[in-house]
Structure 1
Amino acid sequence: MKRKYNYFLLWWLHFFLFPVFGQEVQLYQQFNGRFDFTFIGNTLNTQENLGILNSPCIINTFSSAQLDLQPEDTIEKAYLYWAGSGPGDFNIKLNDIDIVPDRTFNLTQSTSGLIFFSAFKDVTEQVITTGNGTYTLSELDLSEIIPNYCQNATNFAGWAIIIVYKNDNLPLNQLNVYDGLDYISLGNENLNFSLNSLNVIDNIGAKIGFIAWEGDSGLADNETLRINGNILSNEPLNPASNAFNGTNSITGSNELYNMDLDVYEIQNYIQPGDQTAEIALTSSRDFVMINAVVTKLNSQVPDAAISIDNFYLECDSREITVDYTVYNLESTNPLPANTPIAIYANDVLIEITATIDVIEVNGSESNTITLQIPNEIPTIFELTFSVDDLGDGTGTVNEINENNNIDVEEISLLLSPEFNSLEPIFSCNEGFSVGTFDLTSIENLLLIDFSNTISFHTSFLDAETKQNPLINLTNFQANSGTTLYIRIENEFCYSIATVDLITKNCPPTVYNFISANEDGLNDYFFIDGLRDIFLNFEIEIYNRWGHLVWKGNQNTEDWRGEVTEDVKWNGSISVDGTYFYLLFLNDPDYPKPLQGFLYITR
């Protein structure tokens, strides 16, 4: 069961807490093609509201209307509007299907302070399913609210459906649906608004339709409806002096109490090239609300639109290749060849191109262009493609819709990672210029952005192709002069840095004790870090009296205490004791000989 509300309380709350004086009539939807429209609907009033002394204060909760389209008519859209006195009943049924509005409108009559409502629902799916037949709107219950309205004859409720249909036998038309909720009455005797987004190519067959509420046939005091200054009428149904008189132009009924579904021919009142039409209503007594307006114009025009489909960037390049498509959708005429396309980077014009071929209705043309982004444009910018644009915002084609001609894409140019240059890394020569290097500290020295990743390679080709990365970074052995290639990667690009590995001859370590007894321990004079490193070294051993007893180099064995020099000595083996050595490294880094004592025992 439908909940009953205290409508007087809702009215009081609305008036004092949410004062609204109406919503301007504006474009809601546009259709381009072989379209036309019709209305169905009905009032819930049992008779014209003549005031509490002249008519009973009652209202129905349902009413019906008949839809009769031709077999070749195909429903494109169906928009349901319902309206009435008070703050609104927004839970109704259409053919026993629950309806909740997509949008609502309210207004407050300035002289009386009374409020009124209308609501909108897209019922296309339901109407397509039902098709021709009877439509009944029910559970629109204003019975508790209208006592506050009957005394000044503003009690009403009603509903209407705008039906947009397609028929291949129709000419190509532009059909616009406008809606809102505004009014005229005593104290607010003039209402003016513009119907924009028109594109009058041919005025033959042009017509306009209105959904209006609360008009009374008995009130005809300065009640006019004008378009571009011309009074509209449709005698005898709609006299020039009584436009809103409870009539239905579709059915010819004059008993559509307190609502109007009126259609007028307007081909004599608009001209080719018009983009707007001025609507003016006057009334010195009757309270009339305008809820929806529909225009139908013969419209043989294209509608250019464009999309950026893909773009391709290269690292460290300001050259961009862009795939784009120009469309001629929702149109009624082909788009000419050579329609200009302007391309902007951050609103700076960087290129002008054009379509190649004629683009038919509902057709498209895809192309590719390579752009050079100027250096003054930052690396992150907006790329804009604008069709029908000569580069200054003006076009060459008269279009149905001039507001859908651009597509914008944010571009971030791809930059290779920046990095710090590296000094050579040194390691001690372990023999024949081979050293062991610890590479783990390089990352901290090299990277500027630590979100980047690195890998080490022994050739430039491996670094480029990311092949054969080094695994052991803590103990990497290499010859002196080896160059490592370091690949640094961000999400899109990479850089290659280099570092040179250099070995140097570190000071040798002298172990100055000899136990020349052939027990395998300290049997010879051992100097660590000498052989195969200082290749030209020379060693001289002297006894305590300063006599040379032995000389050696890279090509001799280590000294085991033998006497090889011509010295006054009994025997060829040195005696136990202290000796003196001179080590000539013959290396530029060590110009002076190393010297010291050594001890021999047997």
Structure 2
Amino acid sequence: MSLVLPLSAQDISLFEQFNGRYDYTAIGNTLNQAENNIDQSFCSLLESSSANLTLDADNQIVKAYLYWAGSGFGDTEVTLNGIQISSEETYNVTYTDTASGQLNYFSCYADITNLILSEGNGTYTFSDMDISADLMSNPGYCSNRTNFGGWSIYVIYQNETLPLNQVNLYQGLEIINRNVQEKEIILDNIDVIDNVGAKIGFLAWEGDNNLNYGESLSINNNVISNPPLNLADNAFNGTNTFTNSTTFYNADLDVYDLENNINIGDTSVSIKLTTGGINENGGFSADLIILNNIITVLNSQLPDATIEVNDYTVNCGDNSIELFYTVNNFNSTDVLPANTPIAFYLDGLLVGQSQTTNSLNIGESETNSTIVTIPEDSNQSITIVAAVDDDGSMSGVVTETNEDNNINFIDIELLVIPDITTLPGLMGCNEGFETSTYNLYNALESIEYEEENISFYTSLEDLETASNPILVPSIYNNTTNPETIYARLESPPCYEVYQFQLSVENCPPYVPNGFSPNDDNYNDWFNIQGLYDVFTEHQLKIYNRYGDVIFEGNNDKPWFGKINRGLNNHGQTVPVGTYFYVLHLNDPNYRPMVGWVYVNY
């Protein structure tokens, strides 16, 4: 036996909901030898007790839960059909007796679906619940006649012949007694479409048949009864509706008809328990009643939209995100209509909207994607909230079986534009009009890359959108001087950015040592390479062997071997021979160039 501390939150509340062609049944038994308020002939409990499960073959088991309860703080390890069961949660309540002080009572539950599926119909024997230490620790349990123990199994099943129902299972542990004589419990998550066949079931502990003073159970302020088993003034009297038994000592496993106690359109139900009144001797008496769970079965034809954000795509520096999501209509009893709205929020701000495309039948899903745009000043780490059945104002338009499961969220890490790394620039010789030819790959000597992963752009905007790349980077002519080139190196999930500058300089001209002005279209002029349209202010003078200037030229006037200075032979081609030149580049970085050139035909 292990001891557990009381839970701080154990009000009866929704534990699980089933929507579809579902219903339930329950079995169980007491561990009391007899009703414990008739006499005080026993204090200890039975070592075991049994109950039979009989389900029709067409009933498909969906879920099964074992509940056990008793006096004391709780035994969390028990046995069912020889198999050890451990409590998944333990609830505790207390009753303060004037003579005995504080008395504790507990309830445990465990999911035993696999065991029930394996064992099937037959006898179930519950054993090994030991509360003897607690009973001996305080004689008030037995002298006050609140020594009890018992167990129950709830089985939720599906059958295609059933109507479309909403089965709500609520659980916790709440107590009424002479100190607290009334308890009201509000059951939410109810949606009544048709109240025909509606029912409500209870599992309660420690009710005594002989203590019926001021005792009642009411639904929506209507006192309910189930005579002759459960009378209006003695609802908790050790009975089992499923077996029509009146010997379920100090426990109640009962089901009531709800058809006349709820209305179509109701979304909640009020449950009220009372105890305490004047006995036949003129004194005050009250039954101690501990409510463990409540289950409702209501006809419900409603969809239930849920959403899952499955994945996303982000691009570097882009505030648009593509979200991939799935809308489900799983836990439903009707079709989810097409065009059900979907909203996406960031910190409460609407950043995108979408809607379902198709009508979704019960159990169906639909996968789609949408683009949301987030504010540019958002943090790098964000959380997007997706809400189905949300028109963008956090309001729904579809009535659902469950209005509290429309939200899903996903954490997203944005890919910010990386910092730009500046590389050494490339210098090119002026090929005319301040242009040059470059191999852009030469700027990347300091980094490692694969050529297929690198691309070059003339603007940062083109780089970010990967548009208008330089088509032949190995032979590129600049368009301005200087010119900035941007390189994008793919580095998934993002990329790296580099920039470098192209500059043009006037390189020393190359002067040939001869030419042949014979009009054969080959080497017909004094072609000083790197001079024309580069040193645009240059002056060229040609001298004959006597030191006379025979030609003066500039950027617009190259020398074709003809004389344009002097009084004689003006316009004539010079004879074969050696001529001297003086080239003034008129560039502060260069001194005049002097040399000779041989003219031949």
- What band does the TM-score fall into relative to the shorter chain? 0.7 to 0.9
CA displacement at 1:222 relative to structure 2: 0.7
What does residue range 254-293 of structure 1 map to in structure 2 within 5 Å? 254-284=246-276, 285-293=286-294
Superposition pairs of residues 167-206 of structure 1, within 5 angstroms: 167-206=159-198
Name which of 121, 124, 127 aligns with 2:116: 127
Q: Distance in 1 between matches of 2:379 and 2:207?
A: 62
Say if 2:420 and 2:499, in contact at 8 Å, map to a contact too. Answer: no
- Secondary structure of 2:132's counterpart equals coil
Q: In 1, distance between residues paired with 2:62 and 2:428?
A: 81
Partner Cα distance (1:144, 1:501) in 2: 91
Equivalent residues in 2 for 1:307-386, closer than 5 Å? 307-369=308-370, 371=371, 373=373, 375=375, 378=378, 380=380, 381-386=382-387
Distance (Å, rounded) in 1 between the aligned partners of 2:355 and 2:438: 64
User: For residues 155-170 of structure 1, what are the structure 2 equivalents within 5 Å?
Assistant: 155-170=147-162
Does the alignment pair 1:49 with 2:36? yes
Q: SS of the counterpart of 1:408?
A: strand
Cα distance in 1 between the residues matched to 2:195 and 2:428: 91
Deviation at 1:407, TM superposition (A): 2.8
1:274 Cα offset (Å): 1.4
Identical-residue share of aligned pairs (%):
40
Using a 3 Å threshold, how does the CA distance of structure 1 residues 21 and 428 change in structure 2: closer, same or farther?
closer
* Length-normalised TM-score, structure 1: 0.73
The 1-side partners of 2:292 and 2:90 are apart by 11
1:73 equivalent in alignment to 2:59: yes
Task: Kindly indicate whether the alpha-carbon contact (under 8 Å) linking 1:66 and 1:135 is maintained by their aligned counterparts in 2.
Answer: yes
Q: Distance in 2 between matches of 1:467 and 1:182?
A: 76
The structural deviation recorded for 1:316 is 4.8
Measured in 1, the distance between the counterparts of 2:25 and 2:62 equals 12
Task: Report the Cα distance in structure 1 between the residues aligned to 2:327 and 2:162, rounded to whole angstroms.
Answer: 27
What letter matches 2:24 in structure 1?
Answer: F
Change (3 A) 1:412 1:233: same
Distance 1:49 1:132 in 2: 31
Distance in 2 (alpha carbons) for counterparts of 1:497 and 1:89: 69
By how many angstroms is 1:588 displaced? 1.2
| 1:378 positional shift | 2.5
Residues 503 and 397 of structure 1: CA distance in aligned 2, closer, same or farther (over 3 Å): closer
SS in 1 for 2:294: strand
Q: C-alpha offsets along residues 151-193 of structure 1, whole Å, 9 cap, x if unaligned?
A: 1101111110011111111111000111111111111111122
1:55 Cα deviation after fit: 2.1
Q: 1:499 to 1:161 in 2, by over 3 A?
A: same
Task: Report if the CA contact (8 A) 1:210-1:261 is conserved.
Answer: yes
Partners of 2:194 and 2:273 lie apart in 1 by: 26
Alignment correspondent of 1:24: 11
- Count of matched residue pairs: 516
Structure 1 residue 56 displacement after superposition? 2.4
Structure 2 counterpart SS, 1:23: coil
| Alpha-carbon distance in structure 2 between the residues aligned to 1:81 and 1:408 | 35
| Deviation readout 1:443-494 (Å, 9 max, x if unpaired) | 99x9xxxxxxx96879999998999999xxxxx9999999866334454344
1:469 to 1:142, Cα distance in 2 relative to 1, 3 A: farther
Give runs of aligned pairs for residues 193-232 of structure 1, distance below 5 A.
Answer: 193-232=185-224
Question: 1:403-425 deviations in whole A, cap 9, x for unaligned?
Answer: 12233234455554342667855
Question: What is the CA–CA distance in structure 2 between the aligned matches of 1:459 and 1:342, rounded to whole Å?
Answer: 40
One-letter amino acid matched to 1:140 = M
Determine the C-alpha separation between the residues in 1 that align with 2:214 and 2:77.
37
- Name the CA distance, whole Å, in 1 between partners of 2:334 and 2:437: 79
Does 2:126 align with 1:137? yes
> Is 1:39 matched with 2:6?
no
TM-score, normalization: structure 2? 0.73
2:393 is aligned to 392
Residue number in structure 2 paired with 1:114 = 103
CA distance in 1, matches of 2:307, 2:475: 60
Q: Give the 3 Å change call, closer, same or farther, for CA 501–259 of structure 1 in structure 2.
A: same
Q: Cα gap change, 1:375/1:163 in structure 2, threshold over 3 Å: closer, same or farther?
A: closer
Amino acid at match of 1:126: L
Residue type of the alignment partner of 1:417:
P
Tell me which residue corresponds to 2:84.
Answer: 98
1:85–1:417 CA distance, 2 compared to 1 (3 A)? same
Q: CA RMSD in A?
A: 4.6
Residue number in structure 1 paired with 2:519:
none
241 and 467 in structure 1: CA distance in 2 versus 1, 3 angstrom threshold: same
CA 1:37–1:417 in 2, change beyond 3 Å: closer, same or farther? same
Partners of 1:534 and 1:585 within 8 A in 2: no
1:63 is aligned to 2:49? yes
For the residue of structure 2 that corresponds to 1:87, the secondary structure is coil
CA apart distance, 1:383 = 3.3
Q: CA 1:21–1:399 in 2, change beyond 3 Å: closer, same or farther?
A: closer
Q: CA deviation at 1:280?
A: 1.1
* Paired residues for 1:511-522 under 5 Å: none
Distance 1:331 1:456 in 2: 53
> Quick one: structure 1 residues 235 and 435, their matched pair in 2 at CA, closer, same or farther if it must change by over 3 Å?
closer
Residues 141-156 of structure 1 aligned to structure 2 (within 5 Å): 141-147=130-136, 148=138, 149-156=141-148
Question: Retained in 2: the 8 A contact 1:203–1:270?
Answer: yes
Hey, what's the Cα distance between the residues in 2 that align with 1:459 and 1:375? Answer: 28
Q: In 2, distance between residues paired with 1:388 and 1:416?
A: 35
Distance 1:297 1:456 in 2: 65
Partner of 1:520: none
The CA deviation at 1:128 is: 1.0
Q: Which runs of 5+ in 2 are unaligned?
A: 277-285, 448-452, 509-527, 533-537, 541-546, 548-581, 594-601
Residue 557 of structure 2 corresponds to which residue in structure 1?
Answer: none
